[in-house]
Amino acid sequence: MRALVHELKTPLTSMLATSELLSKNLKEEPNQSYMKCLYAGIQDLNLRIDELLDIARGEIGLLRLECEPLNIYELLKDVNEIMKPVFESNAQKLTINIQNPLPIMIADYKRLKQVILNLLDNAAKYTNVGGDIRLCASTDDKCLIIEVRDNGKGMSLKETSNLFKLYSRSHKKGSPSGLGIGLALSKMIIDLHQGEIRVKSKLGEGSTFTFSIPLRPETQ
């Protein structure tokens, strides 16, 4: 798997750099929009390859966290900047609700960002144009609680029961394409943080994904 990822990542590195440069320097339409679309597609492909490698690591127990003091505000700001173009292109509204104040916690910044981006990306894919998505952050006495809520298509009880299993992507007509590994990987990451991830959904009314992780994980 590592050899395959290396072979795929090598040409992608130059493609990412070149497309990013062109997307910044092309000023005339429609070329600028075309280039931004191409750059976004290459970024998405790069992410999928990283997810495949992470899944392989997780399955053999080699997926590791790099925990350090984490500012949740900075994390959510970073996530918002990354996802903003996605929601704008879909005419969707992202509302961020943050409980004040949120403490500095111990966690893996990169991995938690990966989980939140995955949840928001899914919300965008499964919510109609013009829909609403909410990202909420709060804490209780022991845990950080992140919630991503949408008013999209929703899912049946049968679909939600298998959602965090590998390759469980829905194959129903009209469902977004993908390998179905993002949520399985998200669960691996939350499990490594000694946390919990769950979903509530109803067909036609939308879905709510919630994960919680300890503010100060126990040493293992």
User: Within this chain, do residues 98 and 43 fall inside the same structural domain, yes or no?
Assistant: no
- Domain hosting 199: range is 68-214
- Residue 15 belongs to a domain: yes
User: Within this chain, do residues 51 and 89 fall inside the same structural domain, yes or no?
Assistant: no
User: Within this chain, do residues 77 and 50 fall inside the same structural domain, yes or no?
Assistant: no
pLDDT for res 171: 45
Query: Following DSSP, what letter does each residue of 35-89 receive, concatenated?
Result: HHHHHHHHHHHHHHHHHHHHHHHHHTT------EEE-HHHHHHHHHHHHHHHHHH
User: Rounded to whole angstroms, how far apart are CA atoms 142 and 212?
Assistant: 9
CATH code for the domain of 100: 3.30.565.10
pLDDT for res 173: 46
User: Within this chain, do residues 104 and 29 fall inside the same structural domain, yes or no?
Assistant: no
Q: What is the mean pLDDT of the segment spanning 187-208?
A: 95
Q: What is the mean pLDDT of the segment spanning 189-211?
A: 96
pLDDT exceeds cutoff 90 at 218: no
pLDDT for res 177: 45
User: Rounded to whole angstroms, how far apart are CA atoms 88 and 119?
Assistant: 17
pTM of the predicted structure, to 2 decimals: 0.79
Q: How far is CA 98 from CA 24, 68, 136, 178, in A?
A: 32, 21, 6, 31
User: Rounded to whole angstroms, how far apart are CA atoms 38 and 19?
Assistant: 7
- Do the bridges between strand 132-139 and strand 143-150 make them parallel or antiparallel, or are there none, so unpaired? antiparallel
CA 130 from chain centre, in angstroms, equals 20
* Model pLDDT for residues 98-127, shown as the tens digit of each residue: 987 899 999 999 999 999 999 999 999 999
User: Within this chain, do residues 113 and 197 fall inside the same structural domain, yes or no?
Assistant: yes
Q: Which of 59, 87, 102 is the last residue of a domain?
A: 59
- Residue 219 belongs to a domain: no
SS percent in the chain: helix, strand, coil, step 5: 45, 20, 35
- Residue 175 belongs to a domain: yes
Q: Which of 40, 59, 78 is the last residue of a domain?
A: 59
* Model pLDDT for residues 114-163, shown as the tens digit of each residue: 999 999 999 999 999 999 999 999 999 899 999 999 999 999 988 898 88
Over pLDDT 70: what percentage of the chain? 90
User: Within this chain, do residues 19 and 105 fall inside the same structural domain, yes or no?
Assistant: no
Q: Identify whether 30 is preceded by a cis peptide bond (ω within 30 of 0).
A: yes
User: Within this chain, do residues 76 and 54 fall inside the same structural domain, yes or no?
Assistant: no
pLDDT exceeds cutoff 90 at 213: yes
User: Within this chain, do residues 42 and 130 fall inside the same structural domain, yes or no?
Assistant: no
Domain total in the chain: 2
User: Within this chain, do residues 37 and 83 fall inside the same structural domain, yes or no?
Assistant: no
In what order do the strands lie in the sheet containing 196-202?
A: 93-98, 132-139, 143-150, 206-214, 196-202
User: Within this chain, do residues 205 and 119 fall inside the same structural domain, yes or no?
Assistant: yes
User: Within this chain, do residues 95 and 198 fall inside the same structural domain, yes or no?
Assistant: yes
User: Within this chain, do residues 138 and 203 fall inside the same structural domain, yes or no?
Assistant: yes
Instruction: Identify the CA nearest to 52 among candidates 19, 3, 123.
Output: 3
Instruction: Identify the CA nearest to 49 among candidates 190, 179, 187.
Output: 179
Over pLDDT 90: what percentage of the chain? 49
**Residue 167 binned pLDDT confidence (cut-offs 50, 70, 90):** low
